[in-house]
Structure 1
Amino acid sequence: MSYHPGYGGSGSKHRARVPMVPQNPDAPQLFDDTSSAYGQQQAGYPAPGIDMGFNQIFADPVANVAMAYGTNIASQGKDIVHKEIHRFVSVDRLKFFFAVDTTYVLKKLALLLFPYVHQNWEVHYHRDVPLPPRQDVNAPDLYIPSMAFITYILLAGMALGLQKRFSPEVLGMCASTAFVWVVIEVLALLLGLYLATVQSELSTFDLLAYCGYKYVGMILAVTSGLVFGSNGYYIALAWASCSLMYFMVRSLRMKILPSMVQEGLGRPSGRTQMYVTLAAAAFQPLILYWLTVQLVH
């Protein structure tokens, strides 16, 4: 076969094809072939260092023991917390003071505002256990004081708004002042009962309930002041104060003064118990006036 004179020559632009030389199997390789190893790794188990899966951790016996030990410690801590809570605040006892219904609430409000027509003031018992409030109108409760406190705060906000004096700081001050005064009153009663060595069935919740009933009178006084002005405020304040004093004396008489019948009023202990009761009742109008007068004027 004849070729063009310029093909494959020295001045040709085309290069001659280089024949492929077969690779010697015995010659050393410059790089290792890792493609087969990658395929084997995907087909088999994962590489070391990444096999700490969630199931494998909890399948470890040591991890199971540690987990059981931690659960036991958490359970013991929970029991200790519940024990300390029940030591200071009995949840079952607290539920007793909120065992009310609509009939009880209406009767109790009528008793607080018109205590003069009530005859029987004794707290009823069943197998030496006092009946819950929904079964005995004379039993103290914490539902009415709690709801009356919230209503008082809302009413105070409305009164301050009508007088162009509303602000979150002033409303917070009213709420904290009303709450602190009740706490101070309860602590003062506990101290007075302790110093007078009075053997009574009153608990802290009982005193908190009796002292919290004043919010009902405060609501009446503020509402009357907003509707009828200063004259209506003072009339309602006087009525609420007298009603609350009468209610406190008659309610606390059976619990603070249980031994006056046996000891007599002439003995020092009987007179001290009577003074504690009268002081608790006489202190109510002062708090009513202090916590409501700034909302009306």
Structure 2
Amino acid sequence: MEGLRLVSLPRRHIFHQPMKSKRAKPRARASPPTGGPLLFDDTSSGPPPMNNQNYYDSGYNMAGAATGGQEPGVSNLFADPMANAAMMYGSTLANQGKDMVNKEFSRFMSMNKLKHFFAVDTKYVMKKLLLLMFPYTHQDWEVRYHRDTPLAPRHDVNAPDLYIPTMSFITYILLAGIALGIQKRFSPEVLGLCASTALVWIIIEVLVMLLSLYLLTVHTDLSTFDLLAYSGYKYVGMIFTLLCGLLFGSDGYFVALAWSSCALMFFIVRSLKMKILSSISADSIGAGASVKPRFRLYITVASAAFQPIIIYWLTSHLVR
């Protein structure tokens, strides 16, 4: 017993040494089985597989390199020589069609001539309105020319224009709406009927005038715009007649109708006389020397006498 000595170890060595060895032991992880195929890729611990990423990147870069950032289908379309040829042929046909339409349009309605009839100013408009309402004191009715070209309306009060007929037509439609509203008969359909009727009447008048000049082989420098201007001046008298009818009743309406009709007839006869009857001496050679001047006079008088009928037809139903 004396020869044996008990060696006592410290308590921390007895109890903490096994715990230290247990912590140091690494935890083993189970690896996925490699025998069978996987239904889904494990993407929880990192990015998708490198082969898929390379596939998408390469496809996108190829499309971008081929089209400069466009879609692959568009690049194939523009790269096709047949598609390019079809597009060039279509654009050529479109340009040819546009030129043809502009050419045919300029034959019947030249934009330069149309601008000429709208070249007015305030001074011309005031003088022209006074001439339409008081034409009896006017002496010189001849249209002035400069190098075989008629002067613009702002330089010649006798020159026909389309500004006054256009603005007078719009004013007539507005005044007709006011008259219908005062009488509690306004509706969009009735106002549209008034506008379409006035427009149809002036178109019929111009077509009849052109047809008469053509059938009688009257050589004159009257154009379609000239006839449209002279026919459109009646709207000034219609506005005056409507205003007098709304302000003074039926008596004022008939007095204004008589005055505007006589003034317009005088204006039309004196204006068309310089156009239609100016070349009588040139056409007075031959068997029909005494027939053609008489027919020209008939055309002038008939076109002037037709104006009061239209004025009464387009204004009488608006005044009660």
**After TM superposition, is the score higher than 0.5?**
yes
d(CA) in 2 for partners of 1:76 and 1:190? Answer: 32
74, 82, 86: which is aligned to 2:102? 82
Map residues 134-145 of structure 1 onto 2, 5 A cutoff: 134-145=154-165
Q: 2:52 is matched by which residue type in structure 1?
A: Y
How many residue pairs were aligned? 278
d(CA) in 2 for partners of 1:39 and 1:132? Answer: 76
Residue 257 (structure 1) aligned with residue 277 (structure 2): yes
Q: 1:284 is matched by which residue type in structure 2?
A: Q
For normalisation by structure 2, the TM-score amounts to: 0.78
Check conservation: 1:41, 1:47, Cα contact below 8 A.
no
Counterpart residue number, 1:233: 253
Q: 2:306 is matched by which residue type in structure 1?
A: F
Q: What's the offset of the Cα at 1:61? A: 6.8
1:148-203 alpha-carbon deviations (Å, 9 max, x no partner): 00000000000011111111111111111111111111111112212222111111
Q: 1:46 is matched by which residue type in structure 2?
A: Y
Q: 1:35 is matched by which residue type in structure 2?
A: P
d(CA) in 1 for partners of 2:228 and 2:139? Answer: 24
Residue 294 (structure 1) aligned with residue 317 (structure 2): yes
Counterpart residue number, 1:9: none
Map residues 86-97 of structure 1 onto 2, 5 A cutoff: 86-97=106-117
d(CA) in 1 for partners of 2:309 and 2:269? Answer: 16
Map residues 68-79 of structure 1 onto 2, 5 A cutoff: 68-79=88-99
Check conservation: 1:244, 1:281, Cα contact below 8 A.
yes
Structure 1 window deviating more from structure 2 (131-140 vs 209-218): it is 131-140
- The two structures, once aligned, show a CA RMSD in angstroms of 2.9
Q: Percent identity?
A: 57
User: Cα gap change, 1:278/1:22 in structure 2, threshold over 3 Å: closer, same or farther?
Assistant: closer
Map residues 79-118 of structure 1 onto 2, 5 A cutoff: 79-118=99-138
d(CA) in 2 for partners of 1:187 and 1:80? Answer: 25
Counterpart residue number, 2:236: 216
138, 158, 179: which is aligned to 2:178? 158
217, 222, 228: which is aligned to 1:197? 217
Map residues 37-76 of structure 1 onto 2, 5 A cutoff: 37-46=51-60, 53=70, 56=75, 60=79, 62=81, 64-76=84-96
Structure 1 window deviating more from structure 2 (260-269 vs 115-124): it is 260-269
User: Cα gap change, 1:57/1:100 in structure 2, threshold over 3 Å: closer, same or farther?
Assistant: farther
Structure 1 gaps of 5+ residues are 1-18
Counterpart residue number, 2:37: 30
d(CA) in 2 for partners of 1:204 and 1:255? Answer: 13
Counterpart residue number, 2:18: none
Q: 1:37 is matched by which residue type in structure 2?
A: N
State which structure, 1 or 2, has the greater radius of gyration over its C-alpha atoms. 2
Structure 2 gaps of 5+ residues are 1-27, 42-47
Q: What's the offset of the Cα at 1:21? A: 8.7
